[in-house]
Amino acid sequence: MTATLIDGKVVAEDVQRETARRADILRSKGVTPGLAAVLVGDDPASKVYVNAKARTCKKLGLYSEVITRPATVSQNELLDIVKSLNDNDKIHGILVQSPLPKHIDELSITLSIRPEKDVDGFHPHNVGLLLMNRPLMISCTPYGVIKLLEYYKIDPAGKEVVIVGRSNIVGKPLAALLMQKGRWADATVTVAHSRTRDLPSVTRRADILIAAIGSPEMIKGDMVREGAVVIDVGVNRVDDVTSEKGYRLVGDVAFAEVADRASFITPVPGGVGPMTIAMLMSNTVMAAERLSGS
């Protein structure tokens, strides 16, 4: 079996067309959706992500602010920045880029963001509403995975889904989304992780296997059931002397091995990755719609 490739770039473009349409409607009513990103320190990957978000805002007609501070910024200064953005009517979405320096209490920063402007979906208020199946803001990467399944008409209803990874950013919210009652949900969900006993026997049960553990090519071919749908959320750098950059990007799934067994599979890069930014833009427009009463 050769798996059908799930093309995240194509699906992200589809989402962004709809986001741009909604943004046009808001602008016609005098409201320009605005996103503010706060970048602390000089982490190269964080810079790339924040710049990509700013470029996408421009492409879709959204207002964008990038606020940068050195790694030595105090917690109080960071809290003051968030407060000013909470009070700024031009800003409908706020994100504080992770990772933050060790002296910053990340939970305190998250709690300081108004839930209505928490476009990352990390605030406990939004996490709680998600668990109650009444979401206000859905975390972008899990939301993107659901959109990929929807686009490719892979209905999880009644199927066994195994998620390898239990992070607050991906594993837990994605499990909550898939187990809810409703469209593109109603799955039987198992959350596995690095401490799971006999992990291969668990992953082989999956109709839909989602890898989000942050370990390069951990999911091998013999860990996947024939015909399973495989969603690879991982993005890992591995050394590669043949590459001009000295490294290459791989997922949590050994792609070549697994593609011979799966029915559908996401590549890395180009699978889940583009969806994260697409859903962030969608969340920003949704926040602007709600905050403006539109």
| Distance in angstroms (rounded) separating the CA atoms of residues 48 and 195 | 32
Given the residues 117, 118, 120, 252, select the one marked as catalytic: 120
Rounded Cα–Cα distance for residues 82 and 36 (Å): 10
Any idea which residue has 């975390």 for tokens? 139
Per the residue annotation, which of 16, 53, 117, 172 is the catalytic one?
Answer: 53
Tokens representing 108 are 């305190």
Catalytic annotation present for 58:
no
75 is catalytic: no
Cβ–Cβ under 8 Å, residues 97 and 49: yes
**Active-site option among 97, 147, 232, 252:** 97
Amino acid at 257: E
Cα distances (angstroms) measured from residue 164 to each of 51, 157, 200: 30, 19, 11
Q: Three-state SS for 32?
A: coil
Question: Active-site residue 147, yes or no?
Answer: no
Buried-exposed string 59-71: b where 16+ CB fall within 10 A, e elsewhere: ebebbbbbbeeee
Alpha helices in 152-236 (DSSP H): 171-179, 199-203
C-alpha span between 235 and 56 (Å, rounded): 20
Q: Distance between CA atoms of 283 and 36, rounded to whole angstroms?
A: 13
Residues noted as catalytic: 53, 97, 120
